[in-house]
Chains A and B, each alone.
Chain A
Amino acid sequence: MAKKIKIALVGNPNVGKTALFNALTGSHQYVANWPGVTVEKKTGRFSWKDYEVDVVDLPGIYTLRARSIDERVARDYLIQERPDVVLDVVDATNLSRNLYLTIQLSEMNLKTVLILNQMDQVENMDIKINTSELSKRLGIRVVETVATKGVDLDEIMEAALDTSLSVRYQIYPEPFEKLVKKIEEISKGELKNNGIPLRWLALSFSEGDELAKKILEKGGLIKEVEKAAAASEYQNASLVIARSRYNFISSTLKQVEVRPKASWTVTDALDHVFTHKILGIPIFVSILWMMFEFAFSSSSPLSDLIELGFNALGSYAHAIPGWLGSLIGDGIISGVGSVLVFVPLIFFMFFAMGILEDTGYMSRAAFLIDRLMHRFKLSGKAFIPMILGFGCNASAIMTTRTVESEKERIISILINPFISCSARLVVYAVIAGAFFGKFAGLVIFSIYMVSVVFALSMAVVFSFLLKSRESSPLTMELPRYQLPTGKGLWIYMWSRGKHFLKKAGGIILGATVLVWFLSNMPWGTSAQNSWAADIGKTLAPIFAPLHFGWHITLALLFGGVAKEVTVTTLGTFAGGNLSVFLKTVLDPINAYALMLFVLIYIPCVATQAVMHMETGSYKWPILSVIWSLSSAYIITFLFETVGHLVVRI
């Protein structure tokens, strides 16, 4: 029988917990160089000798006092699930701040192993750490790691199973320690059996923590505890506590750490440029532009190649007689193929985003743009989900968990679908490619501008409707810059792009085959008289004011499932040449209007599901669908009317 053991990874944001998790379990969880990447607990498993080890990766926290949802996930896990061992992952270049949480963990009576991560950086920065002395002084095992380069499993597991050391800090002033003992004494009888760590409870209560208060209230002890506190000289002890902890840390570090004198680092130099008063924002805009430019220009030769391939395959397929040839030729190759052509584009787009995320530029961008966001009643934290939305809205919405104010979080969730995701990029690429030739890139960029402006304006509208007063306080850390590793980028690009491939093989294929079937039923008729046409024509009057014919109507209907299906549906009718076909059903103004409509009209099914999950109610996804449908309709209508007027003149 294998012995089971449960290990949790805890630590400050952005220290490398997820990197360590990946190294331990061999998985490919999302790692990036900004604080707040992991927002939910992730479980993994590995075996070592005769142990079955469950590992849990948690969101980063600075202290055990949690406010935002991701922080609560971590804190609640520690209190409720009581892991057997906690691996307290710290950034070894910044011990004095990181050890604060270490002390708190030991006060929770959790068995802790200190993981000094980023030891490569320690070496680079010429910092000397006496690990065995640190271990002696803290009374816990200490292991050095470089999580991104793999870890020594034996060393970590031996430390995790070692029970020879035990912590007993005496760091608080004597009279305060008395109060703590007293509170522990009072709560002992009532709460002992709940497994709540009493010392943590007493200290947190003294710090003014709401959760501790609630627990005491539930146990009916709050009156007595408050009386004890009032009788002492520590009505609000948060400062005493913090100071005692830091005094202990700095006296410990004096004995174990030697740091060279602070000097001008590469990060400082880069920040000088990237956060520059005048250059900062132009650089930011150019970086975004470069991302798109890079994705388009490096992917287009590959896309062309794939297209050639599909064209060849298509003509073979059409040679197959009967319905099978039609299904493969029109449905799968002309339909799904029209999306698959853009696989390289999507991958390169994610590659560019991976660079943005792993260099450390992300939080700088948040810094630069925060003032603007503030004007739109959002905070810099809400900005990161917006940028991530360019990749995929569904996963971006998850990261809104770091936004502290609940209303602001709802607003961030609601506006995120208006940020144009990579699935929509496929639609634009097809339409713009067919109609705007040389200017396609510019046209697509303009759609992205519309997307950002529209999302921000909606933020103002929603914050008015929800009566969201002010955005929550913002304290955001700026990590060190680093060069992304090839391996890291590859994993990032692959794990994100993979979803696109899966979608293409799953929901997109399914929807396309369905459309093909509908467009051929009753069997043998032309597309004009098919069931698909019937559906399209029934709904077409709704879209008549927008000058969308029944093909487009049908494409938009199925595109609600996944935006790419808009393209594949049209592809089924195109008979192999999509851009020629598009020109027969749209004029350039219509075409741009269609792009606008696709941008705004409905969050895809996956996004709706995440919205429901993250808000815990159907209200918000439903609101989002109705809202986006009607605003898409209005905006497109206005654009078409004005556009056609202008062109006629």
Chain B
Amino acid sequence: MIVTLRDCPENTKCVLVDSDIPDSLKNRLMGMGWLPGKMIEVVRRAPMGDPTIYLVDSTKIFLREDESQMIKVRPIYPMPLAVAEKGVYKIVSFLGGGPRFMERAKNNGLSIGNIVEVISNPLRGKIIVMVNGREYTIGRGFSEKIFVEAVK
């Protein structure tokens, strides 16, 4: 799925897609090595939710929401459920995983190795998934911590 860089939570890895970023920004990014096809890693969001640090090659730069919203990317596996499009996935890892998190995961039928089907993912707001034939609604913050891979 093609999403904007802004939609990608921390620890997502994604590939830059050719898109129509305004010229001034585009040129600056290109000079820093941000070319279509390059891998971007979302490193850290600032305390107040903006800006965000990204890693390309070995350079860390930070961008604001306004700019990252204009940049189109394709997340690669394993990706957080938060940016997974409709389809069937296998859960490969959790990020974090304190006891409360694990408890919640279990209540939603989510555990490593399980198969989930994403029914709908509006990128803003809650995600609806199907696990073991039951539907669950998952909050965004939670979905950012569940990493999945595609099922062949």
Contacts and interface: CB of A to CB of B under 8 A. Distances in A.
B32 A477 contact: yes
A474 B64 CA distance: 7
B58 to A, nearest CB: 6
B49 A371 contact: yes
B27 A63 contact: yes
A243 B38 CA distance: 11
Interface stretch (A81-89, A149-157, A219-227, A270-278): A270-278
A100 B53 CA distance: 22
Contacts of A97: 32-33, 57, 59
A337 to B, nearest CB: 46
A367 B59 contact: no
B48 A372 contact: yes
Nearest to B33: A97
Contacts of B26: 238
A243 B30 CA distance: 9
Interface in B23-65: 23-33, 35-36, 43-51, 53, 57-64
Interface in A80-119: 93-94, 96-97, 100-101
Interface in A369-401: 370-372, 374, 380
Q: Name A's interface SS.
A: helix
B131 to A, nearest CB: 29
B60 A478 contact: yes
B30 A63 contact: yes
A172 interface: no
Nearest to A209: B27
Contacts of B29: 475
A367 B59 CA distance: 15
A208 B23 contact: yes
Contacts, number: 109
B57 A62 contact: no
Contacts of A474: 51, 62-64, 67
Contacts of B51: 367, 370-371, 380, 474
B18 interface: yes
A277 B45 contact: yes
A643 to B, nearest CB: 34
A96 B45 contact: no
A62 B32 contact: yes
A140 B35 CA distance: 26
Interface residues of A, number: 39
Nearest to B25: A473
B140 to A, nearest CB: 16
B24 to A, nearest CB: 7
A302 B18 CA distance: 61
Contact of B32 (A280, A368, A371, A475): A475
Interface in A203-239: 207-208, 238-239
Contacts of B27: 63, 65, 207-208, 238
Contact of A238 (B23, B32, B50, B62): B23
Contacts of B48: 371-372
Contacts of B18: 239
Contacts of A246: 33, 35
Contacts of A371: 46-51
Nearest to A282: B47
Contacts of A475: 25, 28-29, 32, 61-63, 67
Interface string A458-475: 000000000000100111
A266 interface: no
Nearest to A367: B62
Contact of B33 (A96, A271, A372): A96
Interface of A: 62-63, 65, 67, 93-94, 96-97, 100-101, 207-208, 238-239, 242-243, 246, 262, 271, 275-278, 280-281, 367-368, 370-372, 374, 380, 470, 473-478
20 contacts: A62-B31, A65-B31, A94-B57, A96-B33, A97-B59, A238-B23, A238-B27, A242-B30, A242-B35, A243-B36, A271-B53, A275-B44, A370-B64, A371-B48, A372-B48, A473-B24, A473-B64, A474-B64, A475-B32, A477-B59
Q: Which 8 pairs from chain A and chain B are nearest by CB?
A: A63-B31, A62-B31, A371-B48, A478-B60, A242-B30, A97-B33, A371-B50, A477-B61
